Structures are given as C-alpha cells and as structure tokens.
Amino acid sequence: MKTITETLNLAPQGKNFLTADWPAPANVKTLITTRNGGVSQGVYQSLNLGSHVGDDPDAVRRNREIVQEQVGLPVAYLNQIHSTIVVNAADALGNTPDADASVDNSGKAACAAMTADCLPVLFCDKAGTVVAAAHAGWRGLAGGVLQNTIAAMNVAPVEIMAYLGPAIGADAFEVGQDVFDAFCAPMPEAADAFEDIGGGKYLADIYALARLVLRREGVDMIYGGTHCTVLERDTFFSYRRDGQTGRMVSLIWLEQA
C-alpha cells in the first residue's frame, strides 16, 4: 500500500484546481477543487475535503492542508445542513457552525461551500469589498439561501456578481413532484427549468433555477454553470452517481494588499 506522501507525489500538478471564469476584481480570489490532487484512497480518491463521509481523518486533514496551501487564508468550513443560514466567515473559523453560506468583508477568512452534486455559488461585489459562498442543494435553493446570502453582503444587488460552480447537470438531476412544487408554487416561471419525464418525475436544471432566483433578486451578472458533476466522473465527486464518495469545496476570499 502506498504511503500518503507517495500517493500525493503521484498526483498530476496544475490540473487539480479550477478557478471561477468571471470578471471579478483583481483582489477577489477563487479556488474550486476537483476530486484530484489529494491523498485519500478507495471511493474517496483522492482530494476528499469532507470529514463527515467516513474517510480516514488523517487523509482528510492532509487534504485540507493541501487546499490551505493554495489559499493562504484560513478556510471557514461549515456544517452544512441544507438550511438558509448565513454566517460571518471569520466568526466561523475553528467552530464549524451549522450553516450553508458565509460572507466576508475582512480579508481574514476564505468562504467555503462543500459539494458533491449540490450547487456552490460564489459571490462578490464589483468593488471587491465583500465576498460570499453558498451551498445550494434544492432545499436550500428553494428555501432562500441565495436570497439570504445576497442580503448578508449588504450591498446593492445590482453591484453583485455570482458564479455557479460545478453541480449536477440537467440531464442527470431526476427529481419528484415535491421538488417541482417547491419551486413552481411560488415561482410559476420555474416550470421552464423542469422536463417532465412521466410518472411524476422530472429532470431539473439547478443552474437555470439558480439564475432565476438570482435575477429575481436583482443580480444580473451571472457566470459559470457549465459542468456536470455526475457525468464528469474523472473530475468530480458525485453523491448521486456513487453514493459513498468524497466532497469538493468552492472557495472565495479577499486578497489583502
């Protein structure tokens, strides 16, 4: 069996991390992990950042160190519960609060959204004074996590840009009538984001739903939304595809001068 160090040395460098492709200010930094570049083994191979999925705690700890080395600032990990709770990232350091979004204007912490099919949404304002990250599974998205995150940023929505990170694609996200109703009852126009496949089942486009929510809140600068975590097997973890699996993290922070 390979040691953790030997496994790490085998990981190809330069292809393990993504960044948001958007016209954010120069002091706004992003990092989106893939499943590659870490030390975890088996179903968690290799850059699993989730400490709650059954992976070796030492491997997760090392994986988080690898990410930390890329970021510089301490990462504000959350205990995500599919809620609409937003916290201050700097206050979350070291205590892992129950929340699904964080915001920062201090430049002292990186906001983080952990996913493996759910939608991570990164936010910043055009002036580069505040950033945020939200974990938007369908429950949180329907419940208002993006709306609460925008409100917590405390800037005009017209000044905010959003990046939709890697999530389950429209061809893979099969849902039931409950999900359709959760979105379409308050927003009838959301029906356009669902394809009826019969038997009370639909294919849902979580990217389209997020864009709809963001635009209703006054955020028109929306980027990303091009990946499918289920279909891109070699790049992303997917809970829907594999069940027992790892987690990626999408990060955003303010670089201090």
Domain ranges of the chain: 13-167+220-254
CATH pick for 13-167+220-254 out of 3.30.70.360, 3.40.190.180, 3.60.140.10, 3.40.50.150: 3.60.140.10
**CA distance linking residue 101 with residue 77, whole number of Å:** 10
**CA distance linking residue 32 with residue 11, whole number of Å:** 17
| Widest pairwise Cα distance in the chain | 56
Question: Tens-of-pLDDT digits for all 257 residues of the chain?
Answer: 333 333 333 333 357 999 999 999 999 999 999 999 999 999 999 999 999 999 999 999 999 999 999 999 999 999 999 999 999 999 999 899 999 999 999 999 999 999 999 999 999 999 999 999 999 999 999 999 999 999 999 999 999 999 999 999 999 999 999 999 999 999 999 999 999 999 999 999 999 999 999 999 999 999 999 999 999 999 999 999 999 999 999 999 999 86
Q: Which residues pair with 163 in a beta bridge?
A: 122, 223
- Whole-number pLDDT of residue 3: 35
Phi, psi of 101, deg, nearest 5: -160, 155
- Whole-number pLDDT of residue 256: 82
Write down the pTM of the prediction: 0.94
- Whole-number pLDDT of residue 257: 62
Sheet strands side by side (includes 119-125):
86-88, 101-104, 131-136, 119-125, 160-164, 221-224
